[in-house]
């Protein structure tokens, strides 16, 4: 007969209590659709109204907010660290070269936050406001509407040095893109799907002439990227001349419908009219090229995939720990 092991009752209680605490933390960390239905029922409506106001004043606000959400989630998770202002002792994410001056829509977040603080103080996080605003920006540009799980907390750290290490470069090849998204828990197909957000908005010419260098000195050849459609290349070179230092010069991501969320991005890529090297890189592998072709032919399918992918991206864990009163500064 084996000897009987006696475990003190207090030890059993301690183990059970520890497991309960761990489970509680895990449950608290899970995001939920309708998170503010009881504590601030009009939260999503207020954000939607402010996005609409911003869009009516400047259509570029919509793609700006989508891009801001992406740049927030890929650096320290979805914790609104992108919204924090720089201080005398720290340069924040928003002032990293890839974000400044190209990011836009901060005033929309500020307006929504001010209204929410007036109606339900200390309840709605800035990170959730940004996630709602990105969703509404997709919808207002005739893209799909989707439910946004909420319950994020706002981070207290924002470092410009984190940006270049986490945001994919427009000069990335397919392997670099795939690895970058994998680092965030996203698959290659989800990468192709989310790349479709390039169907709206614009790119500053400096990206094409300095960072990506597709127009005049591609890969140090002193010539343009040979994969670019010649007619499209001529248009880009005219709008973004070599040596120009105009930080405000920009070209649309999709010239035919720059403020409509549709599958034109994939059609452009197939026609060698993708704006970035990273866009054209999707054709360098049979799997991703097939996905591009499939998305170009079936907008409904891409909408369904996009909704799932952006919701998943929006759940990349952040380091947040508070609900800011002002989205630009920590409490």
Separation of alpha carbons 37 and 80, rounded Å: 21
What is the CA 134 to chain-centroid distance, rounded?
A: 8
SS3 157: coil
Pairing of strands 202-204, 250-252: antiparallel
Instruction: Decide if 214 contacts 182 (C-beta within 8 A).
Output: no
Comparing CA positions, the residue from 158, 85, 155, 83 lying closest to residue 318 is 155
Between the alpha carbon of residue 216 and those of residues 78, 165, 210, 213, 246, the distances in Å are 36, 26, 10, 6, 17
Whether 157 and 92 have beta carbons less than 8 Å apart is answered as no
Nearby residues of 48 by Cβ (< 8 Å), 6 or more positions away: 132, 136
- Neighbouring CB atoms inside 10 A of 9's CB total 8
Residue closest to 211 by CA, chosen among 96, 91, 89: 96
Q: For residues 36 and 15, what is the distance between their CA atoms, to the nearest angstrom?
A: 33
Catalytic residues: 71
CA 45 to chain centroid: 21
Q: Which phi and psi angles does 251 have, rounded to 5°? A: -130, 145
How far apart are alpha carbons 206 and 187 in whole angstroms? Answer: 30
Instruction: Return the structure tokens found at 280.
Output: 């054209």
Q: Which of 102, 77, 46 is nearest to 155 (CA)?
A: 77
């Amino acid at each position: 007969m084996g000897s009987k092991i006696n475990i003190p009752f207090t030890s059993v209680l301690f183990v059970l209590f520890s497991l309960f605490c761990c489970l509680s933390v895990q449950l608290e960390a899970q995001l939920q659709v309708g998170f503010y239905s009881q504590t601030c029922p009009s939260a999503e409506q207020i954000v939607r109204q402010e996005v609409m106001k911003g869009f009516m004043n400047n259509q570029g606000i919509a793609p700006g907010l989508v891009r801001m959400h992406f740049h927030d989630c890929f650096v320290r998770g979805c914790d609104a660290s992108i919204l924090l202002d720089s201080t005398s002792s720290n340069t924040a994410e928003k002032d990293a070269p890839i974000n400044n001056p190209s990011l836009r829509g901060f005033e929309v977040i500020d307006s929504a936050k001010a209204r929410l603080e007036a109606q339900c103080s200390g309840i709605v996080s800035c990170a959730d406001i940004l996630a709602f605003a990105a969703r509404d920006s997709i919808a207002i540009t005739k893209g799909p509407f989707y439910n946004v799980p909420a319950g994020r907390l706002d981070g207290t750290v924002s470092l410009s040095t984190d940006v270049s290490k986490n945001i994919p470069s427009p000069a990335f090849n397919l392997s670099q893109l795939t690895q970058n998204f994998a680092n965030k828990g996203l698959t290659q197909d989800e990468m192709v799907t989310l790349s479709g957000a390039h169907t709206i908005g614009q790119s500053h010419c400096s990206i094409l002439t300095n960072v990506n260098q597709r127009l005049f000195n591609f890969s140090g050849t002193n010539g343009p990227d040979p994969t670019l459609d010649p007619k499209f290349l001529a248009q880009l070179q005219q709008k973004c001349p070599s040596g120009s230092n105009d930080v405000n010069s920009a070209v649309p991501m999709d010239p035919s419908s720059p403020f409509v969320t549709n599958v034109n991005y994939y059609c452009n890529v197939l026609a060698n009219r993708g704006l970035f090297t990273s866009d054209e890189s999707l054709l360098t592998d049979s799997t991703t090229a097939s996905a591009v072709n499939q998305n170009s032919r079936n907008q409904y399918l891409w909408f369904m995939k996009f909704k799932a992918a952006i919701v998943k991206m929006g759940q990349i864990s952040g380091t947040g720990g508070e609900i800011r009163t002002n989205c630009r500064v920590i409490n």
